[in-house]
Amino acid sequence: MKRACVIGWPIEHSRSPLIHGYWLNKYGVSGEYTKVAVHPDEAAAFLSGLADNGFAGCNVTVPLKEIAYKAADRRLPSADAVGAANTVWLENGQVCAENTDTYGFMTHLAQSAPDWQKGSGPAVILGAGGAARAIVHGLQEAGVDHIVVFNRTAERAKALARDFGSSVEAREWDARVDAPAWARLIVNTTTIGMKGEGDLGLDFKSAAKSCVVADIVYVPLETGLLKTAREHGLTAVDGLGMLLHQAVPGFERWFGVRPEVTDDLRARIIADLVGP
């Protein structure tokens, strides 16, 4: 029986076991996917002991993604671009790491906003953490040539722009307000809107109709940002799709089957998010 897990600190709230458990069952794979709470001080040792502990690999979540990246023997370009890894597997005795957030976001964007075009105009990223980096990387790979990053802490936005080159520009946080008027894609990667708290303060009154608005927050599924975007007739891309799609590559590596993100899986996870 093949075994994988998700590690983090804390780990109780992770939905990954639900997603992978659903696929194990659906594809009749003899495997197991569990949650393991791993303290940051123990993370490197846990990863180097994966094989001895009978694991084929693991997902990695907050706050261990940077540690996993550094601890790996081999890193894919997706992890190098972000400086963090969320998916780990073993190959010829080596601990290999990648970052599937880029794949997850871009796949969901393509499915949910098929009319969005990379050449249509500037993309705006709100936030400058690991998720922002993964998405900037994906947009650059897709050929977007103007990406504007707004972040509360200006230095972090500037550092991101420096790392990703001249197609990425950092602007002051306060200047984000009229982004809907000139951006063709807006992505919230901050925690604003999580559990209904906070407001991004964007002005949608003169929003361009072709502007696509995405949020990586998925609790609630319809964030304040997405609700406002929809009310103004814009295409809204929720955060749950990224969570589901980012899980695909890991499952395939550990269990040997490429799983599908279906409406039924989505419905199961939404039911869990909403609760009894």
Strand partners, 231: none
The residue range among 43-51, 142-150, 187-195, 224-232 that interacts with ligand ATR, by the rule CB under 6 A, is 187-195
Nearer to ligand ATR, 7 or 90 (CB): 7
Residue nearest to ligand ATR (CB): 129
Q: Give helix 248-255 / helix 101-112 axis angle, nearest 10°.
A: 120
Q: Which two tokens stand for residue 77?
A: 């370009």
The residue range among 50-58, 88-96, 186-194, 265-273 that interacts with ligand ATR, by the rule CB under 6 A, is 186-194
Which of the following is catalytic: 26, 35, 65, 209? 65
DSSP state of 41: G
Question: What mask of x and - would describe binding to ligand ATR in positions 131 to 170, judged by CB under 6 A?
Answer: xx------------------xxx--x--------------
Binding of ligand ATR at residue 192 (CB under 6 A)?
yes
For 98, the enclosing helix (H) or strand (E) is strand 94-98
- Residues 50, 88: contact at Cβ < 8 Å? yes
- Residues 213, 200: contact at Cβ < 8 Å? no
Count H helices and E strands in the chain, helices first. 12, 12
Binding of ligand ATR at residue 198 (CB under 6 A)?
yes
The residue range among 27-35, 38-46, 123-131, 233-241 that interacts with ligand ATR, by the rule CB under 6 A, is 123-131
- For the annotated catalytic residues, the residue numbers are 65
